[in-house]
Amino acid sequence: MTDTPTHCPYCALQCGMTLGGASAAPGPGRRRRPALRVTPREDVPANQGGLCQKGWTSAELLTVPDRLTTPLMRARRGAPLEPCAWDRALDRIAAEVRRLRDAHGHDAVAVFGGGGLTNEKAYQVGKFARIALRTSQIDYNGRFCMSSAAAAVGRAFGLDRGLPGPITDLARADAILLAGGNVAETMPPFMRHVSAMRSAGGAFVVVDPRRTATARQADLHLQPAPGTDLALANGMLHLALTEGLVDEEYIAARTSGFAAVRTVVNAYWPARVERITGVPVPHMREAVRLLARGRRSYVLTARGAEQHARGVDTVTAFINLALALGLPGREGAGYGCLTGQGNGQGGREHGQKADQLPGYRGIDDPAARAHVAGVWGVDPAVLPGPGRSAYELLSALGAADGPKMLLLFGSNPVVSAPRSAAVEERLDALDFLVAADFVLSETAARADVVLPTAQWAEESGTMTNLEGRVLRRRRAVPPPPGVRTDLEIIAALARRLDAPGAWSADPAEVFDELRAASAGGPADYSGITYERIEREGGVFWPCPSPDHPGTPRPFLDRFATPDGRARFIPVEHTGAAEDVDAEYPVRLTTGRVLAQYQSGAQTRRVRPLAEAAPEPFVEIHPDLAGRLGIDDGADVRVTSRRGAATVRARLTDEIRHDTVFMPFHWAGEGRANLLTNPALDPVSRMPEFKVCAVRLEPVAASGRPPGDGAAAGPDADRASVIDEPGAAREPSGASR
């Protein structure tokens, strides 16, 4: 077969790779399809020839033994899922939509999308919800990922772009502060840019309650208690003021609102912030001095700072620090947020969010409604208004005033949503559940109809990486017989529902429509074409015309606010929504590991990844474990106010004495999201994944539940996973 240049199916780094001909015959029990050879690409700036273990093994996703190749349907609730023909499955779905819509109104049917969908699919899912279903009830799992940073960046700069410039700018920085990110495990190739910076004399500062693989490579590690990042950022700004490190000229020329922030941070004197966070004052002072020592420094945030009930304010505090130092809007400097999911940036720009239309337009903006309705060929009046955010939507399923039917694309909320046992109950309360997936994930296993979908290398489209660079994903092989793409599924359902307008299943045609719908919006793709992406290796949005060069650095001349100035916004530390007490005396924080990705529906099925990270665990400091009588490798029950999980103990001195850590990639009794707190940020509606109160108890050997997700193969737990890459030259997965 011809070599196909494309991009990894996992994280937002979107590492470049080439898929080539068969490197080996399929193993025993594998479907008889050629095994593709993965080769990293040197011409993609994000990874520059590196891949992580997930990237190296990504082609194995195409031949997992339990892959679905025919629709499945239940004859009735409680009956088993059985194979059926496509027409029968699609006819049944359309009939249920009509029945429930006639009985309960348009909002009786809901849609839940995913941050891993291509731009074309994200756009078409939003269009389908608004004019085929005419429902306001649509959101997506990116609400659990980027929403707090997006809201904070939008209100400070007027435009939500993940990084303020190309990722290669990082290598020339004087310093980088990364708050709440473990990129050495979640996107390892990112670290080559950090390493280049350090080799040239730059400093790397990491803020994390754990001494992660990333923190071990830092010049300075700040280790705050979970939920105290906002106080830390305010305290660092206080130190910048008292030590004369703020850029007063920049503040006067390019910002507004600093006086109110100055007043607030006056109350965050160093000793107070040390008491709140546990970070020693000398460490805070050193971090500020490192950032301020040159004009080319970055403040970056990731999920650890964002997934809180005050996540928007926490990100805002770090933006305030960056603005006070004069960083945003300078070439080779600024504030940035690290997008997580593969299309986390593009997936939130084109209509999957409850409050947005394509082009990052507000759904309640009359001009935006008129423009998009014109592209779609409908009256603006038929477009619904804003709907429920992700967790609120999941919580309303099956309720008296909530949706009675859900169509799910590219998501597995049974594993990924907070307080997931309650989410299971709501899914079971639905009249009808439809899941489009490539395997029978934990959520798909509860569905009334499951539609088998094509995988990343079997379809074309575009992705927008963490830089805001629009990239081509190219089809290397056809899907297996019986499998359809999401665009084909949406088009078939739209025709059955007599939806107005055009419903193409051709990604190129859908992208052309997306370009028209986005024209004039904040995320304007109208000047981007497949041909330009091919020719230029990707195009940065906004790009409003074919002769526009794209916008790799959007804030150099002015910010996207009405007056062109960045906004300082005063924010106060209030602590986590749930504090520790005598009954639940330990803080739990959650996150990822190198060999797994998101809910695990994909990576847990890839044998090398399942062998590298076979089961969930809880990291505990030896001092805490000693007080609780917990041995390394022993079974531990971790209990919060929402549920209990049983996992193995992993003792390490690289975590705080008062904090434990659990990764969230596994299903079953070791599911971290059985415990997490769904307290929502008032602006972004992001749940507080990163901190809740728990207690730990040793479990007798006889009390351990059966292992879940430890194997990958025909007899493995039929779980669910998602995606993510990093850096390494060899298939071992080690960093180069």
Kindly state whether residues 317 and 290 are assigned to the same domain. yes
CA distance 206 to 300: 10
Q: Note the pLDDT tens digit of each residue in 631-686.
A: 999 999 999 999 999 999 999 999 999 999 999 999 999 999 999 999 999 999 99
Q: Which DSSP state fits 438?
A: S
Beta bridge partners of 551: none
Q: 163 and 113 in one domain?
A: no
Helix 311-324 and helix 229-242, axial crossing angle in degrees, nearest 10: 20
Alpha-carbon gap, residue 323 to 236, rounded angstroms = 13
State the CATH number of the domain containing residue 241.
Answer: 3.40.228.10
Would the pLDDT of 34 be above 80? no
Q: Are residues 161 and 281 in the same domain?
A: yes
Helix (H, G, I), strand (E, B) or coil at 403: coil
SS3 state at 636: strand
Identity (one letter) of the amino acid at 397? L
Tell me, what's the pLDDT at 265? 98
For residue range 566-590, list pLDDT tens digits in order.
999 999 999 999 999 999 999 999 9
Q: Are residues 141 and 154 in the same domain?
A: no
- Give phi and psi for 243, each to the nearest 5: -100, 10
CB of 712 within 8 A of CB of 605? yes
* In a domain? residue 126: yes
User: How does the average pLDDT of the chain come out, rounded?
Assistant: 92
Q: Which residue has the higher pLDDT, 156 or 30?
A: 156
Residue 714 pLDDT greater than 60, yes or no: no
| Cβ-contact 631, 649 below 8 angstroms | yes
Nearest to 64 by CA among 607, 437, 442: 607
Please write the tens of the pLDDT for every residue from 267-294: 999 999 999 999 999 999 999 999 998 8
Q: Is residue 258 part of a domain?
A: yes
Residue 33 has pLDDT above 80, yes or no: no
Residue 98: band (very low, low, confident or very high) from pLDDT cuts 50, 70, 90: very high
Q: What is the pLDDT of residue 725?
A: 27
C-alpha to C-alpha distance for 569 and 425, rounded to whole angstroms: 40
Assess whether 166 and 298 both reside in one domain. Answer: yes
Query: What pLDDT shows up at residue 2?
Result: 84
Please say whether the beta carbons of 726 and 51 come within 8 A. yes
**Close Cβ partners of 66 (under 8 Å, ≥ 6 residues apart):** 439, 440, 605, 714, 716, 718
Only one residue has tokens 């499955």, namely 89
Confidence of residue 1 (pLDDT cuts 50, 70, 90): low
Mean pLDDT of 249-270: 98
Q: In the structure, what pLDDT confidence band is assigned to residue 30 with cuts at 50, 70 and 90?
A: very low
Q: Check the CA dihedral 171-173-175-179 and report its sign.
A: negative
Query: Which residue has better confidence, 719 or 50?
Result: 50
pLDDT computed for residue 124 by the predictor: 97
pLDDT of residue 318: 98
Distance CA 159, CA 156 (A): 8
Q: List the structure tokens of 463.
A: 């992705």
Peptide bond into 542 cis (omega under 30): yes
Residues 123 and 156 in one domain: no
460 inside domain:
yes
Interval 450-477: pLDDT, tens: 999 999 999 999 999 999 999 999 999 9
Residue 417 is part of a domain; what is its CATH number? 3.40.50.740
> Band of the pLDDT at 22, cuts 50, 70, 90?
low
User: Is residue 709 within 8 Å of residue 717, measured between CB atoms?
Assistant: yes
Per-residue pLDDT, 717: 30
- Which among 572, 648, 566 has a CA at the least distance from the CA of 613? 648
- Strands 539-540 and 469-473, how do they pair? antiparallel
Supply angle C-alpha 441, 446, 447, rounded to 5: 95
**715 pLDDT higher than 60:** no
Asked whether residue 198 falls in the same domain as residue 294, the answer is yes
pLDDT digits (tens, 9 = 90+) for 347-381: 889 999 999 999 999 999 999 999 999 999 999 99
Residue 252's pLDDT is 98
Q: Is the residue at 427 inside a domain?
A: yes
6: pLDDT strictly greater than 90: yes
410 within a domain of the structure (yes/no): yes
Last residue of a domain, one of 305, 337, 369: 337
AA letter at 736: R
Q: 408 and 489: one domain?
A: yes
Instruction: Please check the confidence at residue 504 and state whether its pLDDT lies above 70.
Output: yes
Residue 32 binned pLDDT confidence (cut-offs 50, 70, 90): low
Q: Which residue has the higher pLDDT, 343 or 281?
A: 281
Last residue of a domain, one of 337, 362, 383: 337
Residue 153 shares a structural domain with residue 137: no
pLDDT at res. 348: 87
Asked whether residue 354 is domain-assigned, the answer is yes
pLDDT digits (tens, 9 = 90+) for 295-326: 899 999 999 999 999 999 999 999 999 999 99
Provide φ and ψ at 456, rounded to 5°: -50, -40
Q: Are residues 389 and 502 in the same domain?
A: yes
Count, residues in the chain: 736
Mean pLDDT across 698-713: 50
The answer, yes or no, to whether residue 718 has pLDDT greater than 70, is: no
Confidence of residue 734 (pLDDT cuts 50, 70, 90): very low
Residue 36 belongs to what domain range? 4-63
- Tens digits of residue pLDDT in 204-239: 999 999 999 999 999 999 999 999 999 999 999 999
Among 284, 305, 337, where does a domain finish?
337
Say what the pLDDT of residue 719 is: 26
Confidence of residue 701 (pLDDT cuts 50, 70, 90): low
Residue 291 near residue 211 (C-beta atoms within 8 A):
no
272, two tokens: 């107070």
| pLDDT tens-place string over residues 47-73 | 999 999 999 999 999 999 999 999 999
Q: How many domains does the chain have?
A: 3
Is 25 or 187 the better-scoring residue by pLDDT? 187
Q: Which two tokens stand for residue 498?
A: 């007599």
* Count of other CB atoms within 10 angstroms of residue 425: 13
Q: Give me the sign of the Cα torsion angle 56, 438, 674, 693.
A: positive
Q: Does the structure show a pLDDT above 50 at 27?
A: no
For residue 461, being part of any structural domain is answered with yes
pLDDT score for 703? 53
Q: Is 621's pLDDT higher than 90? A: yes
* DSSP three-state, residue 481: coil
| Residue 541 placed within a domain | no
Q: Does the pLDDT at position 513 exceed 50?
A: yes
pLDDT at 26: 45
pTM given for the model:
0.92
Tokens of 327: 């960083």
Identify the pLDDT of residue 731.
29
Domain match, 23 and 13 both:
yes
SS3 77: coil
CATH number at residue 35: 2.20.25.90
Return the pLDDT at 586.
98
Residues 50 and 90 in one domain: no
